[in-house]
Structure 1
């Protein structure tokens, strides 16, 4: 009887590849602090991540937090105090802190599960085909993923076939850019009409965009690197099981750790 592994190190589906790999809990917690929900997306906990991102946008816009931050940055503290709506503050802080804590705790747990799954050396399904999509495990360039993400957030995720993240980031970028009047502001900025450029944009939406932009680049780069490691690990397992003598142990490459 063949013993079935208790844990999967990766799952390949038509919508993307979900895998376990070592993550720095502090980096995951930092992304969650920068924007609640981003840390969970990095952990492939999509439902929770999408829920927290939607919550952040709704509560933040209702309490005018971004606008208060702008007034604080330029030293207009009285304006910041006047514009912020404290009725929403009690909803914001507990969920914000939970998001950071949950990401940190989950990162530690998933790191332990990755170590155990790696020891079990479970097989990886590398090819999926369906009527709407084809997905397969192969090597791709992290720098190409960065370039596409810089041109348009979400395109780097499409490059690595992470359909859920790609659609979510693309949709958010388009909708928030429209609400913030980003293109109008850029047009006046290129015409060197700085006063009109500042007046036309909506700051409560504009301040969401740097976080989304930076996250799209980081997420595309990290996952492309980890997919390449997964590809190397799967190839090594295939060669070992089919061609390597069972009593010969070849030193493990640092890339596969």
Structure 2
């Protein structure tokens, strides 16, 4: 049996390479993951590669937020118009929003702590994992990429940085929802009007309920692509180091107190 594949002979694996992307365990800061869940429910779980849970929380956030008019209320609050913020909120949706929002933050923190423990155990077990995947639709393999390139492509259009590092599921999800946010917020119409000098009209066409999703969406895409490029590079180096050690290093080779002994 090929020892480069996940053959279920190990209790824990550090990573898995498939045609849809590279999923790996690595140490994460629970507070940063919880912060991303607070910024936008679902983002924290997606950073952990808990995609189904992340997608569910993300879609819940969009549906309930838009119907409760949370983003519009936030804008009125920033402007100091508290009475208008109260009037625009729909309490029928708002009371459903709060418990799930808090759950997303709590669960992402708890899951991060658990996954950090699992990573330490899997790193100690250090079992081989597949580093190359080929299928009818795609090819994926471990290699090194430039984190700055990932960041720059994500700045252009969220999702392109994920495509660069072959995070296909996240890339598709981010790009599709970016189009939705662009369409319903009318931000591109506002940009054209702003270029033409019609500031008042540009402001009036914007839909605040959808507009405030975009900054978080950009921020997540940039952070996710950059961090995962860095971690993929670390994983590649560890895998290559182990491959070279097992196949090319003499079994008699030792390093004691900085001295090479043969």
Match of 1:72 among 77, 84, 100: 77
The answer for the alignment partner of 1:199 in structure 2 is 204
TM value normalised by structure 1: 0.94
Write out per-residue CA displacement over residues 186-242 of structure 1, whole angstroms, 9 at most, x where no aligned residue.
Answer: 111222321111101101000000000110000000000000000000011101111
Match of 2:34 among 11, 29, 32: 29
CA 1:51–1:24 in 2, change beyond 3 Å: closer, same or farther?
Answer: same
Alignment partners' CA distance in 2, 1:250 and 1:216: 43
Match of 2:108 among 103, 113, 120: 103
Alignment partners' CA distance in 2, 1:181 and 1:226: 36
> Counterparts of 1:1-257 in structure 2 under 5 Å?
4-246=9-251, 248-249=253-254
Alignment partners' CA distance in 2, 1:172 and 1:125: 31
SS at match of 2:9: coil
The answer for the alignment partner of 1:255 in structure 2 is none
**CA RMSD, aligned part only?**
1.5
Alignment partners' CA distance in 2, 1:129 and 1:249: 37
- In structure 2, stretches of 5+ residues that fail to align are 257-262
Give the Å deviation of 1:248: 4.0
SS at match of 2:144: coil
Give the Å deviation of 1:178: 0.5
SS at match of 1:18: strand
TM value normalised by structure 2: 0.92
Give the Å deviation of 1:121: 1.1
SS at match of 2:46: helix
- In structure 1, stretches of 5+ residues that fail to align are 252-257
Alignment partners' CA distance in 2, 1:5 and 1:137: 20
SS at match of 2:17: strand
CA 1:247–1:117 in 2, change beyond 3 Å: closer, same or farther?
Answer: farther
SS at match of 2:128: coil
SS at match of 1:101: helix
Alignment partners' CA distance in 2, 1:186 and 1:149: 19
Give the Å deviation of 1:249: 4.9
Corresponding pairs, count: 250
